[in-house]
Structure 1
Amino acid sequence: MAVPENRPRPEPGHTEQSTVRVDSWIWSVRLAKTRSQAATACRGGHVRINDERAKPAQHVRVGDEVRVRQGERERIVVVKRLLSKRVGAPVAVECYLDNSPPPPPRVEAPAPAGLRDRGTGRPTKRERRQVDRLRGL
């Protein structure tokens, strides 16, 4: 009768493979909300592996540099661990080394002139003329 080995269990989502699809990995480490969004980003040219455009089915290995453009910001991460399943945020952060530049500071846009506060009612004739003068009408 065979006795089962007492091996340590791998962490959730951890894979023993040497490569994983890039769209799956981006989704697993929470750089994209859904796998289809990750695949769409790859097809649109927003994902690069080691400075080469990546297709969704392209494989990523430990040590690869992955660049993901998200709007105005570009995330630059180095793969430390491969995942095939989505994991929680604390585990996901341990799977890559983030070399991204800090995000630009958020600038509060000034309120546009001529807009009334919500619930203050309809402007009077005098206020409408002032608004028209401000707009140059």
Structure 2
Amino acid sequence: MAGPERQRIDKWLFYARVAKSRSLAAKLVQSGSVRVNREKVGQAAHLIRAGDVLTIARTRDILVYRILDTGTRRGPAVEARLLYEDMTPKPVVVEKPVAAAFREAGAGRPTKKERRAMDKWRGEP
């Protein structure tokens, strides 16, 4: 599935299933959310090749991909994963301290007794 040596970045983002359409991929690049080898890219016609590292800032996460190949079509997800190596760092999990003052989401309003326990745990008078 070897594609051309160099390819437009909007086409590659579409083929790799980072964007749902090529026009959305072009908008993503033009918004300044994509970097190639740590350099901001502002044009959808920017050419990329195998070995380049893409940093893509999306709404809720940041993706870091090393391009392994340029694609020839937008195929299934299994085929799209062959175009890149995912180098995205794992998210840091911050563990919340377990204490009696925490309530489960959706448990309703705390009772007066539970409110006093939470205030005491927080150190409030």
Same fold (TM over 0.5): yes
Residues 127/47 of structure 1: CA separation in 2 closer, same or farther (3 Å cut)? closer
Partners of 1:21 and 1:56 within 8 A in 2: no
Count of equivalent residues: 121
Tell me how far 1:120 sits from its aligned partner. Answer: 5.3
Q: Which residue of 1 aligns with 2:74?
A: 86
Letter in 1 for 2:75: V
Letter in 2 for 1:76: Y
User: Normalising by structure 1, what TM-score?
Assistant: 0.59
SS of equivalent to 1:26? helix
Residues 57/105 of structure 1: CA separation in 2 closer, same or farther (3 Å cut)? closer
Letter in 1 for 2:31: G
Q: Which residue of 1 aligns with 2:66?
A: 77
Tell me how far 1:30 sits from its aligned partner. Answer: 1.7
- What is the aligned-residue RMSD (CA, Å)? 3.6
Letter in 2 for 1:128: R
For residues 80-126 of structure 1, what are the alpha-carbon distances to aligned partners after superposition, in whole Å with 9 as ceiling and x for unaligned? 2333x422111112234x272x5225525316753323565654433
Residues 31/120 of structure 1: CA separation in 2 closer, same or farther (3 Å cut)? closer
Q: Which residue of 1 aligns with 2:27?
A: 40
SS of equivalent to 2:13? helix
Letter in 1 for 2:9: V
In structure 2, what is the Cα distance between the partners aligned to 1:48 and 1:124?
A: 51
Q: Once the two structures are aligned, what percentage of the paired residues are identical?
A: 31
Q: Which residue of 1 aligns with 2:104?
A: 117
Tell me how far 1:18 sits from its aligned partner. Answer: 6.2
